[in-house]
Amino acid sequence: MPLMNTQYEAIMRTYASRQAKNRRELEERLTKIQNQIPLLSSLDASLVSLQAEQVRASINGHPERQNQLKNELAQLRRKRQSLLEAGGYTLKDLEPSYTCPDCQDTGYIGTEKCHCFLQAEIELIYHQSHLKEILAQENFHTFSYSWYEGEDLEIMKHHVMDARLFIEAFDREFQNLLLLGAVGTGKTFLSNCIAKELMDTGHSVVYLTAFQLFQLLSKAVFGNDYGDTSPQQAYPYILDCDLLIIDDLGTELPNSFTVSQFFLCINERILRRKATLISSNLDMEALQNIYSERTLSRIISSYTIRKLPGTDIRIRKKLQTGT
103 vs 194, beta carbon nearer Zn ion:
103
Contact call for residue 193 and Zn ion (CB under 5 A): no
Tell me the C-alpha distance between 157 and 152, whole Å: 9
Answer for which of 102, 112, 154, 173 binds Zn ion (CB under 5 A) is 102
CB 206 within 8 A of CB 237: yes
Tell me the C-alpha distance between 9 and 107, whole Å: 12
CB of 117 to Zn ion, least distance (A): 6
Tell me the C-alpha distance between 251 and 255, whole Å: 13
Helix, strand, coil percentages in the chain from 3-state DSSP, rounded to 5? 60, 10, 30
In order of 136, 218, 220, 300, the CA distances from 254 in angstroms are 32, 10, 15, 20
Answer for which of 100, 125, 199, 308 binds Zn ion (CB under 5 A) is 100
CB of 241 to Zn ion, least distance (A): 16
Residues 6+ apart with CB under 8 A from 235: 1, 125, 216, 220
CB of 108 to Zn ion, least distance (A): 8
User: Torsion-angle region of residue 208: left (phi > 0), alpha (psi -120 to 50) or beta?
Assistant: beta
Answer for which of 11, 57, 69, 116 binds Zn ion (CB under 5 A) is 116
Eight-class DSSP state of 4: P
Contact call for residue 114 and Zn ion (CB under 5 A): yes
Q: How many residues bind Zn ion (CB under 5 A)?
A: 5
Contact call for residue 122 and Zn ion (CB under 5 A): no
CB of 164 to Zn ion, least distance (A): 25
CB 1 within 8 A of CB 125: yes
Contact call for residue 178 and Zn ion (CB under 5 A): no
Contact call for residue 199 and Zn ion (CB under 5 A): no
Q: Which stretch binds Zn ion (CB under 5 A): 29-37, 97-105, 143-151, 188-196?
A: 97-105
Give backbone dihedrals phi and psi of 209, rounded to 5 degrees, phi first: -75, 160
Contact call for residue 216 and Zn ion (CB under 5 A): no
Contact call for residue 244 and Zn ion (CB under 5 A): no
203 vs 269, beta carbon nearer Zn ion:
203
Contact call for residue 103 and Zn ion (CB under 5 A): yes
Which parts of this chain interact with Zn ion (CB under 5 A)?
A: 100, 102-103, 114, 116
